Amino acid sequence: MKVTKFLLGSVFIIFAAGFLSIVTGLFAMGDPLGSERPIIWTIWYVVVLLIVIMALYDFSSLSKGQLKRIALIGTVVGIVFFSSVKGYYVYTAGLRIEERGVSLRDYQPFKPKSDLAELDKPSTFEIGTKIPRLDGATALYPMYAAFVEAVYPEADYNPDSPEVSSVVSTTTGTAYERLVEGETDIIFVAGPSDQQLAVAERQGVEFQMTPIGREAFVFFVHEDNPVDSLELEQIQNIYAGDITSWDEVGGKKDSIRAFQRPEDSGSQTALQRLMGDKKLMDAPVEDVPEGMGGIIEQTASYQNHKNAIGFSFRFYATEMVDEHAIKLLRVDDVAPTVETIGDGTYPITSEFYAVTTTDKYEQYKPFIEWLTSEEGQSLVEKTGYVPLATN
């Protein structure tokens, strides 16, 4: 009985001390586990259960020295456990290619050491004091921020503050919503989804879309994946759920984890259009906390595991996120390059747009026409996109 008490006491104190060290680590590091909070709650429930069990036992048989050793062991176990979990999720988070995975401040106009493209000489077109409010996709922000620096009056255009700044980037879905609601004037985005068009129609809003450049829709895998090229039909069948293993397309025998993006994002809309008449399978999801301890499902973020496949637009995947050991796939044996986008040989290319509403188009027509001029198109090209007419 004495041995049993000692063992049960040891288990209880180890779990309790370990749990306390984990909680301390969470507060000290700003809740770094994020959506992995269920792990912490699991430990908590175990501790509560052990407390109930151990309440029936007398710990007087344990000496102070034994208690100290057990507490020390528990603390070390907790720290090691926390560090291991933290390290694992830092690693996997580093493999994510997320829409907000870049610092837009690196491209903010009129800032020293900005990464923006510049004209060789001052622009022949300038905007006065009545400037259009701009918004758009993260991937296109470096381009339209370059437009701003070329023709707008110098000011502080904070890309992350739509409440106070006239030039921001809130992502494609939100930009369309803000345009419909009259909260912005021109947005730089891929074409709207059917749902975005339906919302606009219900609000009595009609989009005026001006093409200003071209871009490739790309798919990527882990650099160690032996598959280098997929046929367009194979991609459709993967995302329809008809092809489920890499050995069906020339790779190793391993299941395919085909990640998607949130609904109404520019790249998800591109995927939906790519599917044609094929039904897109359900996206992988993950549980995430939402206020007051609730759990919701959201589209799982791309993680570059050996069996993963993801998608984006070429410029974003190659220029705006850090290298995460991915490789872009050829499609129909054609690589996505500036040249193949320009000559149309890469099979998945599309135009991106400056979008305003029909009632505001005339007001902003001079600026929109400048975007398609030689100066505007040179900034498209210098940013890294493909202009409407390649040289």
Strand 186-189 and strand 134-136: the pairing is parallel
pLDDT per position as a tens digit, 12-27: 655 665 555 555 544 4
pLDDT value at 30 more than 50: no
- Angstrom distance (rounded) from CA 270 to CA 265: 9
pLDDT at 185: 97
Q: Average per-residue pLDDT in the chain?
A: 80
Task: Give the pLDDT confidence score for residue 312 in this predicted structure.
Answer: 87
Residue 267 has pLDDT above 60, yes or no: yes
What is residue 55's predicted lDDT score, i.e. its pLDDT? 55
Alpha carbons 382 and 379: distance in angstroms, whole number: 5
Which residues are paired to 209 by β-bridges?
A: 355
Mean pLDDT of 78-94: 57
Place 370 in a pLDDT band, splitting at 50, 70 and 90: very high
How many residues make up the chain in this entry?
391
Question: Quick check: 121 pLDDT over 60?
Answer: yes
Residue 1 has pLDDT above 70, yes or no: no
Task: Write down the CATH number for the domain with range 215-349.
Answer: 3.40.190.10
pLDDT mean over 121-126: 95
The pLDDT score that the predictor gives to residue 90 is 53
pLDDT grade for 341, boundaries at 50, 70 and 90: very high
| Higher per-residue confidence, 213 vs 113 | 213
CB-CB contact of 346 with 336 (8 Å): yes
Cβ 190 vs Cβ 353: under 8 Å: yes
Ranges in the chain annotated CATH 3.40.190.10? 104-211+356-383, 215-349
* pLDDT at residue 317, as a whole number: 81
Mean pLDDT within 308-317 = 87
Residue 291: left if φ>0, alpha if ψ -120 to 50, beta else—which one? left
pLDDT above 50 (res 375): yes
Instruction: Examine the pLDDT at 98 and tell me if it is beyond 90.
Output: no
β pairing state of 330-331 and 186-189: unpaired
Q: Which residue has the higher pLDDT, 73 or 236?
A: 236
Q: DSSP E strands: which ranges in the chain?
A: 134-136, 186-189, 207-222, 229-230, 257-258, 285-290, 294-299, 308-313, 326-328, 330-331, 349-357
More confident residue, 223 or 103: 223
The model's confidence at residue 66, banded by pLDDT at 50, 70 and 90, is low
CA distances from 258 to 92, 94, 372 (A): 16, 18, 36
Above 50 in pLDDT, residue 351? yes
pLDDT mean over 166-173 = 93
Whether the Cβ atoms of residue 33 and residue 26 lie closer than 8 Å to each other: yes
Across 58-78, average pLDDT: 64
Q: Give the pLDDT score at 135.
A: 97
* Spatial distance between the Cα atoms of 151 and 156, rounded to a whole number of angstroms: 14
Q: What is the pLDDT, as a whole number, of residue 324?
A: 65
Q: Which of 125-129, 252-256, 328-332, 375-379 has the lowest mean pLDDT?
A: 125-129
pLDDT at 114: 78
DSSP string, 323-338: --SEEEPEETTB---H
Residue 329's pLDDT is what? 95
Residue 282 has pLDDT above 70, yes or no: yes
Least confident of 102-106, 192-196, 239-243, 307-311: 102-106
Class of domain 104-211+356-383: alpha beta
Contact by Cβ (8 Å): 31, 85: no
pLDDT at 208: 97
Q: How far apart are CA 342 and CA 246, in angstroms?
A: 31
Residue 200 DSSP SS3: helix
Work out the pLDDT band at 56, boundaries 50, 70, 90.
very low
Q: What pLDDT is recorded for position 27?
A: 45
- Per-residue pLDDT, 130: 86
| Rounded Cα gap, residues 139 and 197, in angstroms | 21
Note the pLDDT tens digit of each residue in 139-149.
899 999 999 99
Q: What is the pTM of this model?
A: 0.70
Mean pLDDT of 255-272: 86
